[in-house]
A and B are shown apart, each in its own frame.
Chain A
Amino acid sequence: MQFFGGSEINPSPQVPTASGNNAHMMYVFNRNGVCLLYKEWNRPLHTLNPQQDHKLMFGLLFSLKSLTAKMDPVNAEKGNLGVPQLPGQGCSFHSFRTNTYKLSFMETPSGIKIILVTHPKTGDLRESLKYIYGLYVEYVAKNPIYNPGSPVKSELFNTALDQYVRSIS
């Protein structure tokens, strides 16, 4: 993707580390806004404490979905701005990019939201997010002692996730 964002005032974006790990952090939310998982690989700047950060992220995504559903230039029937949308209803976004990071987003029909924050030059991560959802289904949803709606503490899931994210170029 061509890149016109930079000016001399802003510092250049983070260069990928030698291990090939491009990802900064990852969030998984359920449909009620509970943060099921937060993983951080490379985050030099922490603006807010973790609770506020999760709430802000969830709020941003909720509002962006509302915005895209309203701005949709193709569908004639649109609800009013701010009305909560069901997962899959209305036009939803799949990624946004700033000069310092790229955020990729996926929402499943059950309301599970997977967010991956990476280096801005990363390509389309929709397939990767689908694979991560596959890992979630295998190691978390199918785990009989997992309590839905509570934070994920599965070792197997964390290991598999780490391995996979480090391999995304």
Chain B
Amino acid sequence: MAAIYSLYIINKSGGLIFYKDCGTKGRMDTNDSLRVASLWHSMHAISQQLSPVNGCSGIELLQADTFDLHCFQSLPGTKFFVVCEPGTPHMESLLRYIYELYTDFVLKNPFYEIEMPIRCELFDINLTLAVQSDRVALLGR
């Protein structure tokens, strides 16, 4: 059973362009979600500096006491990260699927300005479908 609490998408400068909250207690207001997104962008960059070997591309998984955070960075630098229950499987493939939805419904939308907040209805609809539990299990196969 996939229990996803929230999803964030940040552009290559660290600004939050999409935020979806499925949880109840963890709700953050807009300002806090913006701050958290920029903080994550910086942490991701600093973790590359501290690597003992070459070729580090930043944090992919952060494990905390009550949640896990999976992060996927696309080649242009857009970061997709999801906050979920500890031990939830198939999050990496879900993030790649969300990236596909992003390229299909956001980037190919002629009215969408790159790096700006996402306001595309089709993206929202398909995203809601994707995070339903049975869909996530299907992706894992």
State how many residues of chain B have any CB contact under 8 Å with chain A.
Answer: 41
Q: Which residue of B lies closest to A68 (CB)?
A: B64
Which listed residue (A71, A103, A117) contacts B83, Cβ 8 A?
A71
Which listed residue (A14, A91, A99, A100) contacts B64, Cβ 8 A?
A91
Shortest beta-carbon distance from B85 to chain A in Å: 9
Contacts of A45 in B (CB 8 A): 51-54
Q: Does A24 contact B (CB under 8 A)?
A: yes
Q: Which residue of A lies closest to B60 (CB)?
A: A5
Complex Cα distance, B96 from A81, in Å, reads 29
State how many residues of chain A have any CB contact under 8 Å with chain B.
Answer: 46
CB pair A98–B54 under 8 Å, yes or no, is no
Complex Cα distance, B43 from A60, in Å, reads 7
Q: Does B92 contact A (CB under 8 A)?
A: yes
Which listed residue (B35, B47, B55) contacts A81, Cβ 8 A?
B35
Q: Does A51 contact B (CB under 8 A)?
A: no
Using known A-B contacts A91-B65, A93-B64, determine if residue A60 contacts B55 with beta carbons closer than 8 Å. Answer: no
Using known A-B contacts A2-B92, A72-B26, determine if residue A64 contacts B55 with beta carbons closer than 8 Å. Answer: no
Using known A-B contacts A63-B43, A71-B36, A73-B5, determine if residue A92 contacts B52 with beta carbons closer than 8 Å. Answer: no
Q: Does A83 contact B (CB under 8 A)?
A: no
Q: Does B133 contact A (CB under 8 A)?
A: no
CB pair A73–B23 under 8 Å, yes or no, is yes
Q: Does A101 contact B (CB under 8 A)?
A: yes
CB pair A43–B52 under 8 Å, yes or no, is yes
Which listed residue (B25, B55, B65, B92) contacts A94, Cβ 8 A?
B65
Q: Does A50 contact B (CB under 8 A)?
A: no
Using known A-B contacts A47-B50, A71-B26, determine if residue A81 contacts B39 with beta carbons closer than 8 Å. Answer: yes
Mask of A6-18 contacts with B, CB within 8 angstroms, 1/0 = 0000110110000
Using known A-B contacts A97-B59, A98-B58, determine if residue A63 contacts B42 with beta carbons closer than 8 Å. Answer: yes
Complex Cα distance, B51 from A11, in Å, reads 13
Interface centre among A48, A59, A103 (most CB of B within 10 A): A103
Complex Cα distance, B66 from A48, in Å, reads 33
- The 22 sampled A-B contact pairs (Cβ below 8 Å) are A4-B92, A4-B93, A5-B60, A10-B57, A14-B53, A24-B52, A44-B53, A57-B50, A64-B43, A67-B40, A68-B62, A70-B32, A73-B26, A81-B32, A91-B64, A97-B61, A98-B58, A98-B59, A100-B52, A100-B53, A100-B55, A101-B51
